[in-house]
Structure 1
């Protein structure tokens, strides 16, 4: 292909064939194809500069050395950020896997080369005041407003994923026990408590709003319904939260996942045990939950540094 005409014919031809495979047979999005073209050109330049003319000449050591240069910029162009370096290795591994599957080479040297581990980002959490403003001022009045308020209160009160919340049926809500039954990842279920404000808004929605949304479709089991009487989608739930944040004047980027992070962080800051939070979130391993303790520890350090007499810098 013309994208790689500067490389030796054997090398450039394989690079082009792989991109064509992604575009025609895999239906890869144009933006992804553009990124892969840049990644593969970088790899092709690295190989060509070392006298490699076909992928048959590439060993696993060569692929590993290329990975090592991605963060330094030695393989052509500027150094890559971790996420871009990881994507580049994914593209390179896909190239070698394709060449092996097509019989163009007799081995796959990139099979054992894995993308670099990305630094774990701390989850974002909203301040409690922002969450309260979102819940109290973020929803409109009327039937849909009752539904939206019930959904948002439930998300924050239970720590549910948006897919778990919109997947709830009416029978999953136990108002006497003050719990909801969530269907989590991998088919696992968990019953979690919800607070009185969430239950009150759920009851108001069920009595005053949901019957109007159901319309003639009386048998629909879903708890949260859209305007057509069907189950509310994940995208619909996300849009409800986004609109609520705009209406409440919450400037921080808000998503259902941010609300879930806020739930966990506020529990830990209030003194909850990390294993209790693990159960509430439905994490299989406590290690997944412990990322939140890094946030609360940062808060503790800040409080300590500003309040403890012996934590202050001595005055000179």
Structure 2
């Protein structure tokens, strides 16, 4: 890493005043170092007194021409803004040249999607004659019926189940808890798995409350869920590249296509921002067109 001007002082600011973790500090320092590399390339000497927003715009353009992705450019810009904010705090500059520096628009890749026929085919392809078959059916029903992330699924506990009220308590990102409704079909398969399969396992200490266990009596791993779903896709000849998250995407999209309120779906998915949920509304243009046609007064 280049030991550029104010490097050590900026590092101390990030660690002590911002309280950033070591990895984040290193990332910020590396991002700012790229600006000094740019100065070397153009053959000019960096000075806090004469840096301008036009120089910064040219720098970002240079990064783009080098092939740097928009997401990475956005991170570099974030590092630069922190650097110049620090220089302002120290009274080293009077005007922040990064104020007019906008992050590039990040492309949002639309999620893969399964239709109801494909989901049914995947569930039907599970071999229920095998001990893990009923467990796998229950897993697929919960993934699609509740829209869980794979980590939320494998950490789901028996004590999180509330079958009479038909909801589950889910612990999501940042240990945030949320309540998610669960349908009768998913509850039925969970009940069968618990009473007919799981009850016969020699459960290892510390795993007693986890719903989904492997044959050794330990909590199921993420990779085992991925592997199971990939195998089912192969078995039915599905050409799409799918994962546990595909069921989550399908859950959200099918709800919205059916007319569910976007904020309700946001709550069930555990999204902190409504804009994260809104990606699902881009998946079915015919559906959106139908909504406009039906409800907009000017059509």
Q: What TM-score do the two structures reach when normalised by structure 1?
A: 0.67
- RMSD (Å), alpha carbons: 4.1
Question: Which residue of 88, 110, 113 maps to 1:122?
Answer: 110
Asked if 1:169 corresponds to 2:157, the answer is: yes
| Matching residue of 2:241 | 253
Distance 1:55 1:243 in 2: 59
Distance 2:240 2:226 in 1: 15
CA 1:303–1:219: 2 relative to 1, 3 Å: closer
Question: Which residue of 29, 44, 65 maps to 1:52?
Answer: 44
CA 1:196–1:89: 2 relative to 1, 3 Å: same
Distance 1:164 1:52 in 2: 52
Are the aligned partners of 1:172 and 1:180 in contact in 2 as well (CA < 8 Å)? yes
| Matching residue of 1:22 | none
Are the aligned partners of 1:138 and 1:248 in contact in 2 as well (CA < 8 Å)? no
Asked if 1:289 corresponds to 2:281, the answer is: no
Asked if 1:160 corresponds to 2:148, the answer is: yes
Are the aligned partners of 1:138 and 1:245 in contact in 2 as well (CA < 8 Å)? no
Are the aligned partners of 1:124 and 1:258 in contact in 2 as well (CA < 8 Å)? yes
Question: Which residue of 134, 137, 145 maps to 1:149?
Answer: 137
The Cα of 1:297 is off from its aligned counterpart by: 3.5
Distance 1:161 1:200 in 2: 21
| Matching residue of 1:222 | 210
How many residues are paired up?
Answer: 269
| Matching residue of 1:275 | 263
Distance 1:299 1:247 in 2: 31
Distance 1:110 1:228 in 2: 59
| Matching residue of 2:219 | 231
Question: Which residue of 171, 183, 203 maps to 1:195?
Answer: 183
Asked if 1:65 corresponds to 2:58, the answer is: yes
CA 1:157–1:139: 2 relative to 1, 3 Å: farther
Asked if 1:181 corresponds to 2:169, the answer is: yes
Are the aligned partners of 1:143 and 1:212 in contact in 2 as well (CA < 8 Å)? no
Distance 1:286 1:90 in 2: 23
Are the aligned partners of 1:162 and 1:257 in contact in 2 as well (CA < 8 Å)? yes
Q: For structure 1, which runs of at least 5 residues remain unmatched after alignment? A: 2-11, 19-25, 101-105, 306-316
The Cα of 1:110 is off from its aligned counterpart by: 9.1
| Matching residue of 1:23 | none
Q: For structure 2, which runs of at least 5 residues remain unmatched after alignment? A: 9-21, 294-299
CA 1:131–1:88: 2 relative to 1, 3 Å: same
Distance 1:286 1:89 in 2: 25
CA 1:219–1:118: 2 relative to 1, 3 Å: closer
Distance 1:139 1:115 in 2: 49
CA 1:44–1:270: 2 relative to 1, 3 Å: same
Q: Provide, for residues 260-293 of structure 1, a one-character-per-residue CA deviation record: whole Å limited to 9, x for no partner.
A: 1100101111222222222222223333322222
The Cα of 1:193 is off from its aligned counterpart by: 1.9
| Matching residue of 2:18 | none
Distance 2:38 2:215 in 1: 55
Are the aligned partners of 2:143 and 2:153 in contact in 1 as well (CA < 8 Å)? yes
